[in-house]
Amino acid sequence: MEKMVIEGGYPLNGKVKVNGAKNAALPIMAACLLINGTTKLRGIPELTDVKTLCKILNELGVDTKKCEDGSLDITVKDERNITAPYDLVRTMRASICVLGPLLGKRGMAKVSIPGGCSIGSRPIDIHIKGIESLGAEVVMEDGYVIATGKMKGSEIYLGGPYGSTVLGTCNIIMAAVLAEGRTIIENAACEPEVQDLAHFLNKAGANIAGIGESNLIVDGVDRLNGIEYEIIPDRIEAGTIMIAGAITGGNIVLENDASCYLASVIDKLREAGVGIKITDADKNTPGHVQSSECFVKRDGNIKPVNITTLPYPGMPTDMQAQFSALLSIANGTSIITERVFPHRFMHVAELNRMGANIMNEDAIAIIKGVPKLSGTTVMASDLRASASLIIAGLAAKGITEIRRLYHIDRGYERLEDRLKNLGAKIWREKE
């Protein structure tokens, strides 16, 4: 086991390139189950979740090859196996995204009910409702979702108590692209990662309309063919690095930063007193509208702000923990309301151990800013919570040790090396 060690108090300065988006990469990799021939994916980050999905795809008869240029070649070799086993699926919730493409291409799927981060209830009932609407017969047996049937176009309403589901939308899209007839998905998730999946499938020969809107129209096609495709940059990684620069009072430049997907994050950072300048956008490729560079600088104190997480284009729930760390040193009181995963506040106790003053009740956190944080030993509870502890450690006085690093490695590629290149005093040690 390893731990992260941070000596706080050093401002971040310099340039950093944002990696490809984990939450776009995983569904697109799963979508390769639908494709005839080889697909070359560029921008796939080096993450444990990506490695896990590669192992699942290998179990399903898919060859995954990492190329010298960093791209990933994916080729379906054998379509006989339809089982995604428990030992692999249990470690990563996004594994459920193989359900839709297995049904769409092979007519059968047996997928273990997934595990994942401890951020509250995340049921898969909407996934099941969607594939049943397309004609699947579904049973739950021995911890597996077992689905069979020929997919036929249908009208499907997706939604839950806190909005639509990203993975659920992705699964239904993938189940529908080879279906007979037209599928209309109402209240579809509009997140950039869903859009990226749809653009990828269209380039491979699918017929999906309404991309980026709440109603998607999918007209089934006979086949999809292998293509080359580049994943969009990771907006959550970009936002995390922005906040890391802001909390340390640094001056950083993000390349390939996807600012066009971060309007809500940038708005709140500016409200908090962080200077952000964005260069002209590159609009050459549909679905890949990116800012070439984003400049982040803070000179004065952090100002308090109120935040409510919402589905896209609102404030991402995946940025809530990072903002909690930043606002813990604000000059005043901030309120965060979590409307996506109401119990996603396990990082609060650990931030309070570092000297923060955060009160959490139900879906609300009240953050009274303190002059400084202090380094101590803390425990990561999930992916974004671990990022918030790193952010806090960068600003804290003294040494911070963060344990359970497997969480951070699920979603950030060698984050400590990239922060070190910006001037952070951060390293890994054996526990």
Catalytic residue, candidates 117, 170, 190, 294: 117
Torsion sign, CA atoms 233, 235, 236, 242: positive
Cis check: omega of the bond before 311, within 30 degrees of 0: no
Contact between 7 and 395 under an 8 Å Cβ cutoff? The reply is no
Contact between 24 and 233 under an 8 Å Cβ cutoff? The reply is no
Structure tokens at 212: 């980026």
Contact between 103 and 178 under an 8 Å Cβ cutoff? The reply is no
State the amino acid at position 429 in one-letter form.
Answer: E
Give the Cα separation of 409 and 407 in Å (integer).
5
Q: Which letter does DSSP use for residue 317 in this model? A: G
Angle CA 361–364–368, to nearest 5: 90
Q: Which letter does DSSP use for residue 180 in this model? A: B
Structure tokens at 136: 């699947």
- Is 408 in a helix, a strand, or coil? helix
Q: For this structure, is 294 an active site residue?
A: no
Active-site residues, by number, are: 117
